[in-house]
Structure 1
Amino acid sequence: MTNFSKTLLKSAALAMTAIAVPAIVAAPASAQSRTGIATANYEAAVVRSQAYQTAVTQMKTTYKADIDATNARAAALQTEIQPLVAAYNAAVQQPGANAQTVQPQAQALQAKRTSGQQELARLQQRVTLATSYVQEQVSLQLTAAIQTAMKAKNVDLVISPQATVAREPYVDITDDIVAELNKLVPSASITPPAGWQPGQSQQNAQQQPAAAQPTGR
């Protein structure tokens, strides 16, 4: 059964959107290859960065009303859904019960879950958007942080932990990437510009180099 309280954007654990970083990152070409390989959890590096952690603390205060309203509504929805769960369980336990006979109860339960999740998403919309904005600010420097950490550790190739079968603990350079992110992004704003949408910061960053190039004649 879906627990509405688990769908909340808790103050201690904010939702993450996908980070646009390739699964494998190679260092710039050098005079001699060392074939050193390391692993790194990019999403964990962003979340553990000082800028992100500080932003989470700030959001607990700035968006407290949103968080409290979402938590309160989630608790209420949990109570409201219990009779529907009980009705579904009772229908399932009836002699001769099958998918068709329990369909009304199943549909009522699913409809309540869906509407509840949508309602909670609306209540926490500002927090979700602010979280995405903070994440993008940090993520914009993620590739640079990875490259610097690779150079410092004499690594030629970084792969995600999911792509490995076995490794030694010292092969992981996530902490080194976090340290570089802390230098590159000491702080992040929790207030998105008017009209900002997730992905916009990365698009702007990609467009700026092209706009800076001389047109030539």
Structure 2
Amino acid sequence: MKLLLKPAVALGLAMAAASPLVSAPAYAQSANGVGVVSLPAAVANSNAYKVAEQQRPVTYKAQLDQAEARRAAIAAQLQPMMTKFNTDRQAANPNQQALQQQATQIQQIEQNGQRELQQILAPVSLSRAYVTEQIEDKLDDAVQAAAKKKNITLILDPSQGAVVFADAKHNITQDVVNELNALLPSAQLVPPQGWLPREIREQQAAAAAAQGQQPAAPATGAQPTGR
């Protein structure tokens, strides 16, 4: 069995933006050899992922504090500009050219600020991608182990649009979480120097192959057993 997993970066960002996921209940057995598992939910509810989410604000406190301070500063800079813009456009005969210039300036500050915040928080995003990829590397084994224990021969993933409806008795997401917890009790939080997410590594390898070059060996770091 080979699972089709979403790229680590996309999956990590999607789960960060979503509401907290609730673990699916465990069931004694699946029906007719068919199981349903949400792979993103299995990743997000694994102990390795949840512990990393708790540790990250402490490990990356400096970056998070810097980002919050910079965000507040940008908001303070924009507030009087927005007030003036709203006041000017409500005038009896507003100067459209001046309004356009103000709007452009406000937009530029917002865009530059967003890029700056993303740069400050890049280590945080990279950490989340690193943790998620470690879990993904164990996900295929976890699904196979859960399927074997439940005598399942067909597994569907509703998050990838494969299932419209399934009775709760088919759900083995918690079983997969249990297997993940056994295979990877914890994950390394901080990526090794030079580490890049799988999606970027694959893009670089493809580009190097297209140019007839040997792709650079990815940074692997220690085995993902620590925190």
Residue type of the partner of 1:120?
L
Q: TM-score, normalised by structure 1?
A: 0.67
Q: Note if 1:64 corresponds to 2:61.
A: yes
Distance (Å, rounded) in 2 between the aligned partners of 1:108 and 1:187: 46
The secondary structure found in structure 1 opposite 2:9 is: coil
Within the candidate set 116, 120, 123, 2:117 is matched to 120
Within the candidate set 103, 107, 130, 1:106 is matched to 103
In the TM superposition, residue 44 of structure 1 has moved relative to its aligned partner by: 2.4
Report percent identity of matched pairs. 37
Q: Note if 1:198 corresponds to 2:197.
A: yes
Contact 1:136 1:202 (C-alpha < 8 Å) held by counterparts: no
Provide closer, same or farther for how the CA distance between residues 183 and 118 of structure 1 changes in structure 2, counting only shifts above 3 A: same
Provide closer, same or farther for how the CA distance between residues 124 and 35 of structure 1 changes in structure 2, counting only shifts above 3 A: same
Distance (Å, rounded) in 2 between the aligned partners of 1:84 and 1:182: 51
Alignment of 1:68-217 (within 5 A): 68-94=65-91, 102-155=99-152, 156-161=154-159, 163=161, 164-199=163-198
Residue ranges of structure 2 left out of the alignment (5+ in a row): 1-7, 13-30, 203-227
User: RMSD over aligned Cα, in angstroms?
Assistant: 3.1
Select between 110-119 and 91-100 the one with higher mean Cα deviation: 91-100
The secondary structure found in structure 2 opposite 1:183 is: helix
Deviations 1:38-96 (A, max 9, x none): 43322222122111222222222222111222122222222222223334434554568
Select between 56-65 and 194-203 the one with higher mean Cα deviation: 194-203
Q: Note if 1:17 corresponds to 2:13.
A: no
Deviations 1:133-190 (A, max 9, x none): 1111111111221222233334312122462333333333222221111111111111
Residue type of the partner of 1:141?
K
Q: TM-score, normalised by structure 2?
A: 0.64
Contact 1:91 1:97 (C-alpha < 8 Å) held by counterparts: yes
Distance (Å, rounded) in 2 between the aligned partners of 1:90 and 1:184: 60
Distance (Å, rounded) in 2 between the aligned partners of 1:81 and 1:137: 40
Provide closer, same or farther for how the CA distance between residues 132 and 162 of structure 1 changes in structure 2, counting only shifts above 3 A: closer
